[in-house]
Amino acid sequence: METKDPKHTRVVVGMSGGVDSSVAALLLKQQGYDVIGIFMKNWDDTDENGVCTATEDYDDVIRVCNQIGIPYYAVNFEKQYWDKVFTYFLEEYKAGRTPNPDVMCNKEIKFKAFLEHAINLGADYVATGHYARVDYRDGEYKMLRGLDENKDQTYFLNQLSQEQLKKVLFPIGELEKSRVREIAREAELATAAKKDSTGICFIGERNFKEFLSNYLPAKKGKMETFDGEVKGTHDGLMYYTIGQRHGLGIGGSGEPWFAIGKDLKRNVLYVGQGFHHDMLYSDAIIANKISWVSNKEKPAEFECTAKFRYRQEDHKVTVRLLDNDQVQVIFHEPIRAVTPGQSAVFYLGEECLGGGTIDKVFKNSEMLTYVG
Amino acid sequence: MERIYLDHAATTPMHPKVAERIFEAHNINFGNPSSIHSFGREARHLLDQARETLASSIGAKQNEIIFTSGGTEADNMALLGIAEGYQQNGKHIITTQVEHHAVLHTCKKLEKMGYEVTYLPVDETGGISIDVFRASLRDDTILVSVMYGNNEVGTLQPITEIGQILTDHQAIFHTDAVQAYGIENIDVNKSFIDLLAVSAHKINGPKGTGFLFARENVKLAPRSFGGDQERKRRAGTENVPSLSGFREAVLISQAEREIKRKNFKQFKEAFMNILKEQDVEFSLNGTLEYSLPHVLNLSFPGTNVESMLVNLDMAGIAVSSGSACTAGSVEPSHVLVAMFGKNSERLINSIRFSFGYNTTEKQIVTAAEETAKIVKRLRK
């Protein structure tokens, strides 16, 4: 890996106005890089009063960049975001699946459109405030989990390739979140005490149901048990995720109720009692759109661990390569609430191998048609 | 790296003599011009001098100058004040699609208040058609607001012709001269102008200062209330130091106007010649004929304004894309939309270079060469 004098190495930092990217920029500046902060505007959420969270976030970027002493700019990817991320997001919901727009945003926007923009500005690297690490070993780039296990974001970065990782720095990947806050406080950065953003970026703190109903027609329907017993009414299948407990509003005695499956044709939400309801468990999947971090050839079958949703613990699995960027993943133990549309991400120890989208879910070799 | 400032249409550096004058006024002539004591009288004297110079700079009388906080306030005051003052004569207003937002957004407000506004279209050079203007005039038209010279592309409007036409019409004629004042030779009488808005910081004066010329017989409803300043049309203690500096800036601009006009026209040609020599594909937004000498707006096919601006900034060259944008919203320039339509490539590949005090030939050469380099690199 070539190394250049930091002073002559230009790093464009994607700054969101949050504490993580603020500290990422600060650390790079302290390491002597030629740092530029860029705010990406991907979504226009201007409300009827003309207030837009992007304006406030950009104000924070400006304050922080001036504190650090780096130039700042903004770039607009609203069109790309709409075409590549939001359209996909809606399509997946329409198909009864549960999409992961953050994975798509990293793949199409942050590490594609933004990376290209940065290179047009003469950048040697782009950096972000993600909790992940990049290492160069055995002649290739590896993506490693962030050292703060609780914050590790490789799940969302699973689609990154060698070409992308070659150009990427994750300055806070070596740090615990608490240390990031501490650094921000010590440097008195304007964002030191700013609340972490939660939820999907374009929805923000708003009500998810209300947001989605602006774009997709919601159709109320029945909530049923697998035995056909009607337990109530749902507000629209897209509002429910497999394994979810809240928002069902089914009372009565016994264990709490959970969303277990969907019948798109009949517009029925299947519900069942108990966190460990048998129907919530599966033992294998087919995942598609697989992207491996390494370009090296993989064995036709190998063992590793996997996550099927963000912040889930690792599960032991066997991966079998199939044609057309697909894999079969066999779980060593049944796993709860594996949901089509979400990412399946593979790990070997601290290394993230890559991932894909959960397409089909199986139990005892039978495809579970009710999970979406 | 020597930085080159080519964004004088956005704002200008203060002339050292102006800064000196303001500093002095703050220190010595700090009195309130309405006070009866010697401090007050000194301040009042400075204020009167400023008013005199500003008035004569456009052929106006002293009592026709209303000091404001700048161009935006002057435009707001003109439009809202006339709309209110003449509402019994009608509720129709004519303006253009290429006005500054200080005018356009005020018109939007007036529409909400029940006025009807006609936005005149422009041709590809950015100019309105006198025939279309004439056809838009109605018996109930009370106000015509057409900018003197455009801030984004520099195009001059047929101000005198409009003024002439309105001499036998009830409509009051306002012009936003913020970008033209100081570089164009403006005479409110020869051009039959009733109201005219000016800002100090565009001509190397202080920020937060400007004036509205309002012809003596024009009924202008006041927008702020309090003391008797500005003949009760704009209450509040006058900003004497800034106005004193503004006066200095006007005197300097008058002395240097002709040489600046000549130089800036040459700069435009030199800039475009270098681009041609370097085989850079570009086209002019606007016209060289009826244009402010200091504004040059160019379109570079195959580039993107976001990359261009950042690259130029990193090369130390300060320019802009026309209207300022916030938080990454690339609101396409309404001026370019009016000229070329909303699907034109020019909306995303146009850059404004604007010249001013202390712009040198050498800077123009460097900036043009640097621009050529960046355009070539981005087109790859």
- Which pLDDT does position A352 carry in this prediction? 98
pLDDT value, residue A146: 97
| Closest CB to B327 among A36, A58, A71 | A58
Contact A58 B326 (CB under 8 A): yes
b vs e for A271-285, b when ≥16 Cβ sit within 10 Å of the residue's Cβ?
bbbeeebebbbbbbb
- Residue B218's alpha-carbon distances to A69, B55, B61, B376, in angstroms, are 51, 16, 13, 54
Q: What is the per-residue pLDDT across B224-279, written as a single tens digit (0 to 9) for each?
A: 899 989 988 999 999 999 999 999 999 999 999 999 999 999 999 999 999 999 99
Residue B277: the pLDDT is 97
Give residue B231's region: left, alpha or beta (phi > 0; psi -120 to 50): left
Interface check B328 vs A, CB under 8 A: yes
Which residue of B3, B109, B303, B306 to mutate against A (max A Cβ within 10 Å)?
Answer: B306
Lowest mean pLDDT among A13-22, A113-122, B38-47, B313-322: B313-322
State whether ipTM is beyond 0.95: no
Evaluate whether B158 touches B130 at the Cβ level (below 8 Å). Answer: yes
**pLDDT tens digit sequence for B163-218:** 999 999 999 999 999 999 999 999 999 999 999 999 999 999 999 999 999 999 99
B56 exposed, middle or buried (CB, 10 Å; 0-12, 13-18, 19+)? middle
Neighboring chain B residues of A58 at a CB cutoff of 8 Å: 326-328
- Whether residues B325 and A74 touch (CB distance < 8 A) is answered with yes
Residue A58 Cα, gap to closest chain B Cα (Å): 6
In angstroms, the CA A258 to CA A316 distance is 25
By the CB < 8 Å criterion, does A40 face chain B? yes
R_g over Cα of chain B: 21
Token pair, residue B211, equals 């004036």
A234 in Cβ contact with A221 (< 8 Å): yes
**Structural element, H or E, at residue A95:** none
* pLDDT interval class at B324 (50, 70, 90): low
The answer to whether A122 contacts B327, with C-beta atoms less than 8 Å apart, is: no
CA distance B181 to B188: 12
The answer to whether residues B209 and B242 touch, using CB atoms and an 8 Å cutoff, is: yes
The token pair that represents B367 in the structure block: 């900036």
**A256: Cβ contacts below 8 Å, ≥ 6 apart:** A245, A273, A274, A275
- Return the sign of the alpha-carbon dihedral for residues A218, A221, A226, A230: positive
Assess whether pLDDT exceeds 70 at residue B328.
no
**Alpha helices of A31-100 — where are they, by DSSP H?**
53-68, 78-81, 87-94
Rounded to the nearest integer, the mean pLDDT of chain B is: 95
Copy the structure tokens of residue A221. 């329907």
Q: Using pLDDT thresholds of 50, 70 and 90, give the confidence band for residue B23.
A: very high
Per-residue pLDDT of chain A (372 residues; tens, 9 = 90+): 556 799 999 999 999 999 999 999 999 999 999 999 999 999 887 776 767 778 889 999 999 999 999 999 999 999 999 999 999 999 999 998 999 999 999 999 999 999 999 999 999 999 999 999 999 999 999 999 999 999 999 999 999 999 999 999 999 999 999 999 999 999 999 999 999 887 677 777 678 888 888 899 989 999 999 999 999 999 999 999 999 998 888 888 889 999 999 999 999 999 999 999 999 999 999 999 999 999 999 999 999 999 999 999 999 999 999 998 999 999 999 999 999 999 999 999 999 999 999 999 999 999 998 887
Facing residue for A120 by CB, picked from B325, B329, B378: B378
> Can you tell me the distance from the alpha carbon of A98 to that of A208, in angstroms, rounded to the nearest whole number?
13
* DSSP-assigned beta bridge partners for residue A287: A327, A358
What pLDDT, on a 0 to 100 scale, did the predictor assign at position B325? 53
